[in-house]
Amino acid sequence: MLYLLKVENIFSGYGKIQVLKGISIEVSNNEIVCILGSNGAGKTTLANTISGLIPVSKGEIYFEGKNINLLPPHERTKLGIVQVPEGRKIFPKLTVIENLEIGAFLVKDHKVKNETLEYVFSLFPILYERKHQKAGTLSGGEQQMLAIGRALMSKPKLMILDEPSMGLAVKIINTIFKVILDLKKDMSILLIEQNANKALEISDRGYVIETGRIVTKGYKEELKNSEDVKKAYLG
């Protein structure tokens, strides 16, 4: 089976500190796969390694069957991998529209760029209302919408979402997770999330990471019914 993303036995970390210790995951086309785990488990390191921000010290990463171990982040973005980082990382002094335009820096076709912009505004109408407003003045929920919108501007095949619900009110979380589920028809999503209940609601499959290793994996119903997952993550 040809997966969109295939991560095989990767090791990576920071300097001499090895965070990931033999992680293997797969993501198919038009699939939402969640990565669950506590703080410090290695979830963000996994996201950054797939995006090319952290080098692989051992193992292989394949995207559409191509080994991307040595590709820099911008080349991975060209292939269709985009990350919405933990904490949003929007450009606070730029306007909403300027932030979105930065997301489309690799898109050369102006018609495609404009169509994608309209699509983002249809998903998040509040961004259209705030398009000339400085991004730093937006609420936390609006900033998360902007971060997702900026990622969409690159026309991704795989979107990596790192803790999209962090620090948000329940109503906003529900809105954002509904959009994430809607996006599945156009792309695959790797969802890194501490809110296990919400993540499993919209995911097809999931993996649980502890101390840099996969300890449990399965379809969402299997994970929901796992006593270990219930005890540790579902409350």
Task: Please indicate, yes or no, whether residues 114 and 225 belong to a single structural domain of this protein.
Answer: no
pLDDT tens across 108-122, in order? 888 989 999 999 999
Q: Examine residue 98 and state whether it is found in any structural domain, yes or no.
A: yes
What is the pTM (predicted TM-score) of this model?
0.93
Domain boundary among 133, 155, 177: 155
Largest CA distance in the chain: 51
Task: Please indicate, yes or no, whether residues 94 and 163 belong to a single structural domain of this protein.
Answer: no
Q: Give the per-residue pLDDT at 148.
A: 96
Structural domain containing residue 126: 86-155
Task: Please indicate, yes or no, whether residues 135 and 163 belong to a single structural domain of this protein.
Answer: no
Task: Please indicate, yes or no, whether residues 66 and 105 belong to a single structural domain of this protein.
Answer: no
pLDDT tens across 96-152, in order? 999 999 999 888 888 989 999 999 999 999 999 999 999 999 999 999 999 999 999
pLDDT at 12 over 90: yes
Q: Examine residue 6 and state whether it is found in any structural domain, yes or no.
A: yes
pLDDT at 36 over 80: yes
Hey, what's the torsion of the CAs at 64, 204, 193, 67, to 10 degrees? -10
Q: Return the ∠ at Cα 46 (arms to 23 and 91), rounded to 5°.
A: 175
Task: Please indicate, yes or no, whether residues 137 and 32 belong to a single structural domain of this protein.
Answer: no
Q: Which helix (H) or strand (E) holds 17?
A: strand 17-27
Q: Examine residue 110 and state whether it is found in any structural domain, yes or no.
A: yes
Q: Examine residue 176 and state whether it is found in any structural domain, yes or no.
A: no
Domain boundary among 110, 131, 155: 155
Task: Please indicate, yes or no, whether residues 75 and 92 belong to a single structural domain of this protein.
Answer: no
pLDDT tens across 69-99, in order? 999 999 999 999 999 998 888 999 999 999 9
pLDDT interval class at 1 (50, 70, 90): low
Percentage of residues in the chain having pLDDT higher than 70: 99
> Domain count of the chain?
2
pLDDT at 2 over 80: no
Task: Please indicate, yes or no, whether residues 8 and 64 belong to a single structural domain of this protein.
Answer: yes
Q: Give the per-residue pLDDT at 73.
A: 95
**How far apart are alpha carbons 171 and 14 in whole angstroms?**
36
Q: Give the per-residue pLDDT at 107.
A: 83
Q: What CATH number has the domain bearing residue 192?
A: 3.40.50.300
**How far apart are alpha carbons 223 and 206 in whole angstroms?**
7
**Contact 143/176 with Cβ under 8 angstroms?**
no
Task: Please indicate, yes or no, whether residues 12 and 74 belong to a single structural domain of this protein.
Answer: yes
Q: Examine residue 181 and state whether it is found in any structural domain, yes or no.
A: no
Q: Give the per-residue pLDDT at 132.
A: 96
Task: Please indicate, yes or no, whether residues 121 and 142 belong to a single structural domain of this protein.
Answer: yes
Task: Please indicate, yes or no, whether residues 134 and 235 belong to a single structural domain of this protein.
Answer: no
For strands 32-36 and 188-192, give the pairing. parallel
Q: Render 164-233 in DSSP notation, one character per residue.
A: TTTT--HHHHHHHHHHHHHHTTTSEEEEE-S-HHHHHHH-SEEEEEETTEEEEEEEHHHHHH-HHHIIII
Q: Examine residue 182 and state whether it is found in any structural domain, yes or no.
A: no
Average pLDDT, the chain: 93
Q: Examine residue 179 and state whether it is found in any structural domain, yes or no.
A: no
Q: Examine residue 148 and state whether it is found in any structural domain, yes or no.
A: yes
pLDDT at 167 over 90: no
